[in-house]
Structure 1
Amino acid sequence: MYFKNYETSLRELPLKGGYEKEDLLTEEFLYAKDGKVEVYWAPFEFINKDAKVIILGITPGWTQMELAFNYVRHHIQEEEYEQMICNAKKNASFGGTTMRKNLIDMLDGIELHKFLNIESCEQLFNEKHSLLHTSSVLRYPVFIDGENYSGSSPKLFSQKLFLKMIDELLVPELNDLKDAVIIPTGKVVSDVLKYLVDEGKIMNKTILYHFPHPSGANGHRKEIYETNKNIFKDQLKDAASRGQFQEPINQLRPNEDQMAELIKQLKIIGEELKRGNDLRERDAYYEKRVAHLADEIEPFDHKIALVIDHLLR
């Protein structure tokens, strides 16, 4: 992690409602430079190893960089490191006036939310953020003459610096999340992933190639999306059949309070089942009991119901 290398400079930033490029695109935060290409560090280091879905961009833009810095600068005294960088990424990921909305609409359109058992993919950026990992081919923000790098000029594969970042940062990151479904936003990102798969550098099972970038400036977004929409749906169905959206039972580990509640509920169920003489009546009771168990033990989430279901069977 590079956070420690930049922490002092970050803490020295004045507390402001918003930052300008002259505040952040400085020598203190310069990660690497090659001619006109400048890469600046930003707090995008959190890796959610429990994620079921990875949404991958080309590189964070200025908007995302400012949002992440802003969050960390205002919370560095209050939050633990891991929680802070997690929240910073959550706050900044695909941030912008229309980009996140466009992305959510497209994800809901291919019914990703149904496979994740949530109401809408909007929840991935809020209360169900634990299901999502967002990242970029080039993890840290890249600027050409002070402007966001789009992936086209210079060509990504022509830059040794970019290839070095991919090998050192992206490849290990994706290999920590081999079972997650990858959604690459834009052609350049898809091309990079194809290259990594062909080279045997990553082993991810499901990649939704040709998923369009959600930017409102992408004039071909809707056409590309509609052309590939049914293919994306089929890929998600295949991923579901392989169990890529399921939570392994051995990873469902309740804490002490949750386990106490589980034991209490299991004892109640056991006593009530003993009183049932009719096998069909007992089966019906069991199904009804498990169906409502998550509600009974709130505020615990659906994972606890899965644990109980596993134990009872």
Structure 2
Amino acid sequence: MLHTALMSFFPAIQTLPTNRPLTKQDLLREEFLVDKEESMEIYYAPHNEYINLEAKVMIVGITPGWKQMKTAYEQFLKSMVSGEDLETCLKETKQAAGFAGSMRTNLVHMLDQCDLPRILGISKSSDLFGKSRSLLHTTSIIKHPVFIKGKNYTGHQPTINRSSLLQHYAYREFPNELAQMATPALVIPLGKTVEQVILRLLEEQKQLDHTYLFGFPHPSGANGHRIHQFQQQQSQLREKVMRWGQGK
């Protein structure tokens, strides 16, 4: 099935080079612009088209960054050149672009410490990004990459609640994705910005019947307080994972 958003950008994607790494000049251009508000620009990326509706675990970031966007396009082009059908292209793109690099390393280490592998019946949390990928869905509260003057948006300046554009994605589009997931999923919000959005959705009595792992630190290497935050939260996080495992 050709997704509506993909259909709009597919002609431009077909013009991208496949013989070299993609650059910001290739991707941060008018043909891929989704929305704009003052110095903020939102661009299309193909890795959030695929939703693993049967996933047991859902990991939620703020928004894809440039590296994820670049990885997504390069994988999509690679899959397309290999002759894969579009659904397979999108699935492989999602798998390649989900929290890659050091962020994934930090993330799986904390998930291991929360005893998630034992609850899921897998050997280690890194398997969620490999042979046990069917158990995982990765996403963002703002599904498309957001840039402020060409730099990754980090959840600040402006905050989500100070931007009508960002609020649209966080409070109207994201809950629709949450509602599609098979329940009860274990939803892991990465950091306080994502956590605050989900808490507001729950306060508004959205029917989002999942287990939420609040208190989970953002795994970015830029979060210098990550280790201390996790040590403070580890006991309650592990207990919540165990309770979710008993009820699923």
For the residue of structure 2 that corresponds to 1:76, the secondary structure is helix
Residue of structure 2 in register with 1:183 after alignment: 188
Alignment of 1:49-88 (within 5 A): 49-77=53-81, 78-88=83-93
Match of 1:27 among 25, 30, 46: 30
Q: Percent identity?
A: 37
The alignment's C-alpha RMSD in Å is: 1.1
Alignment of 1:1-313 (within 5 A): 1-43=4-46, 44-77=48-81, 78-96=83-101, 98-177=102-181, 178-243=183-248
The answer (yes or no) to whether the contact 1:175–1:202 under 8 Å persists in 2 is yes
Distance 2:152 2:71 in 1: 15
- Bigger-Rg structure (1/2): 1
The answer (yes or no) to whether the contact 1:171–1:202 under 8 Å persists in 2 is no
Gaps of 5+ in 1: 244-313
For the residue of structure 2 that corresponds to 1:2, the secondary structure is helix
TM-score (norm 2): 0.95
For the residue of structure 1 that corresponds to 2:52, the secondary structure is coil
TM-score (norm 1): 0.76
Q: Which amino acid aligns with 1:18?
A: P
Distance 1:231 1:87, change over 3 A: same
Q: Which amino acid aligns with 1:196?
A: L
The answer (yes or no) to whether the contact 2:62–2:154 under 8 Å persists in 1 is yes
Distance 1:26 1:212 in 2: 33
Distance 1:202 1:132 in 2: 21
Q: Which amino acid aligns with 2:203?
A: D
Distance 1:69 1:205 in 2: 31
| Cα-to-partner distance string for 1:224-261 (whole Å, 9 max, x where unaligned) | 11111110111111111212xxxxxxxxxxxxxxxxxx
Aligned residues: 242
The answer (yes or no) to whether the contact 2:56–2:135 under 8 Å persists in 1 is yes
Distance 1:25 1:181 in 2: 34
Gaps of 5+ in 2: none
Q: Which has the higher contact order (CA 8 A, sep 6+)?
A: 2
The answer (yes or no) to whether the contact 2:215–2:237 under 8 Å persists in 1 is no
